[in-house]
A and B are shown apart, each in its own frame.
Chain A
């Protein structure tokens, strides 16, 4: 393989690996901009992946699977909302709890229903989102440079991948160009002011966590019924936390979120590629360095060494209307 082929193949897997991060980080963007911390992204993604695989297996329909994933993910969001908005509980504690519930329940139910050690059975082709070949991809393949990139990176992804990239400008538009978005950002900075304007802080925050549940449904479905053909236990494997890191790395802004997710996806793809390969002059670079890099970068950013990340001011603070 020459260098160009390697680059194309790494870029292809970068796209595939960053999609679940992108949906999840956008989900986090909505809740956190509304002033609700969401450590539970990981759990929502995992629960959605399980639900999608179950529904897709039973019905044999990928779209119904996606719907199932979204439904369960929104249910988790509502529990998070009930605990942290209605009952003014600690948002982080609630998120941690939901992560555990998802991690345990997916395996317990999976084992009880399918008896395959927490896996769901292999999905039929109709129960999955299969790659879409864009028009002209085969014809373009022989064109130098652009051809392979078009055929292997841009074309040949499943519908959820394109939806993820569509979700970025859409999220930007919702957050910055609609009344709902303005109020949502305001409620994350100064809920008291929003309340004074006669808008319900509670209902606004609930809508934010529901949007997050909706988006996490997509990332979960992507994991189990698009990227693979079954649910495997603990298949989110910390991606929810990487997405959270990407969200912080992007300073809670939609377009930078996309680039941060692509960067972390690239690190992941590059680590896979580098496994067992020696770098001239340095020797074999341990794969753990690449695995740890997104977290290290986020900490360096949080330390204020690469610009300062200002979180939404009212983040993590339950809103009390009267004392």
Chain B
């Protein structure tokens, strides 16, 4: 008998199986570490210490977490509508342009809290704009969104390099970046929040965009599970034909879902551009858009799950950077391997253990 149709209780489907998949991904990562001649347990200890051991380490961890929450939410929203948005990377990149333009034009005149709402809107609008064409192509012309968003990542990268090298660069400077924003265009650090827990932030760029990310988590939860639009998106995601029969407009829902997804990805730019480097730089996204895929898969496209998954990847990014100083044999790219393994086991091999689980579960139920 096929095991695919046997129902399992929720705590197995949403708790035990993702956990099991994650453990396998980390076990294999440990094997890789062992293979290149280092001690995996020792490496894990250094990784935890480097990411959670000191105040500034926690600050850096939460800084990365912030970026990953945004991109994770971006992937998740599209995923609920049955769309696989691989373009978060490019949408975040172009979103940075929106944030930077707002910061550059307002920072001389107003304090940061006036700039911030405009920057949020600017980043979201530019990110959404970059998602619009793939969305429209999917909705109206039936082009596969995965392919078009990949293409738009590359087109976006070319566009941003062009703009930074030829248009936005400070005349006379060599580095392809904008001028440094004045304090009116920077998002302040959250050192007071860290101080509440008796921790010193130090040089870590943990900033206000973390709070914006948490607000977005709540708004996405409201959107997906408490609004008509969210219901329509989820219906479309589960069964496009049922959605059409129920009178849910396909093209409109696809485009809106992608605009929201692109907007969330664009907002990610606030964190590095306005919260950390205070200027727009080439390749500032640094793969955070792709991490969003892993975060969303691991967090089961639920905002709460995404916060935890983003935190885990924040720990990996910060701890991994620290680890590569302590163990030069383990380069930073080890994180990319772990990221790939998490996507493989939590995403593509999601149901690998299901048949076994069904057998064990049925035996226990009978007993």
Contacts and interface: CB of A to CB of B under 8 A. Distances in A.
B352 A87 contact: yes
B348 A101 contact: no
B350 A105 contact: no
A238 B153 CA distance: 11
B10 interface: no
A112 B36 contact: yes
A263 interface: no
Interface in B141-165: 141-144, 146-148, 150-152, 154-155, 158-159, 161-162
Interface stretch (A5-13, A65-73, A148-156, A295-303): A295-303
Q: Indicate the member of A83, A102, A248, A296 with the most B CB atoms within 10 Å.
A: A83
Interface in B339-364: 339-341, 343-344, 347-352
A286 B329 CA distance: 40
A107 interface: yes
A13 to B, nearest CB: 20
B289 to A, nearest CB: 12
A104 B348 contact: no
Nearest to B156: A292
B158 A292 contact: yes
Given A100-B340, A104-B337, A288 B146 contact: no
Given A89-B350, A101-B340, A108-B333, A298 B2 contact: no
Given A286-B162, A292-B159, A299-B137, A96 B293 contact: yes
Contacts of B5: 323
Given A96-B293, A322-B2, A299 B334 contact: no
Contact of A299 (B37, B143, B340, B348): B143
A114 B334 CA distance: 16
A15 interface: no
Contacts of B159: 288, 292
A302 B144 contact: yes
A245 B339 contact: no
Given A288-B162, A296-B155, A112 B329 contact: yes
Contacts of A99: 340
Contacts of B84: 90, 92-93
A97 B347 contact: yes
B137 A98 contact: no
Interface residues of A, number: 52
A217 interface: no
A140 interface: no
A174 B150 CA distance: 30
Interface in A283-310: 286, 288-289, 291-292, 295-296, 298-299, 302-304
B339 A100 contact: yes
A43 to B, nearest CB: 8
Interface in A89-144: 89-94, 96-105, 107-109, 111-113, 118
A284 B293 CA distance: 38
A59 interface: no
Contacts of A231: none
* Majority-rule SS of B interface residues: helix
B155 A97 contact: no
B4 interface: yes
Given A238-B154, A288-B159, A93 B333 contact: no
B340 A111 contact: no
A118 B333 contact: yes
B347 A93 contact: yes
A241 interface: yes
Nearest to A291: B158
B141 A103 contact: no
B290 interface: yes
A84 interface: yes
B341 A87 contact: no
B297 interface: yes
B166 interface: yes
A101 B344 contact: yes
A99 B143 CA distance: 23
B337 A105 contact: yes
A108 B137 CA distance: 39
Given A112-B36, A302-B147, 11 more contacts: A89-B348, A108-B36, A108-B333, A108-B334, A288-B158, A288-B159, A292-B154, A295-B152, A298-B151, A299-B155, A304-B142
16 contacts: A83-B344, A87-B351, A89-B348, A93-B293, A94-B348, A94-B349, A103-B336, A108-B32, A241-B150, A288-B161, A298-B151, A302-B137, A302-B147, A303-B137, A304-B142, A323-B5
Interface of B: 2, 4-5, 32, 36-37, 84, 86, 133, 137, 141-144, 146-148, 150-152, 154-155, 158-159, 161-162, 166, 290, 293, 297, 329-331, 333-341, 343-344, 347-352
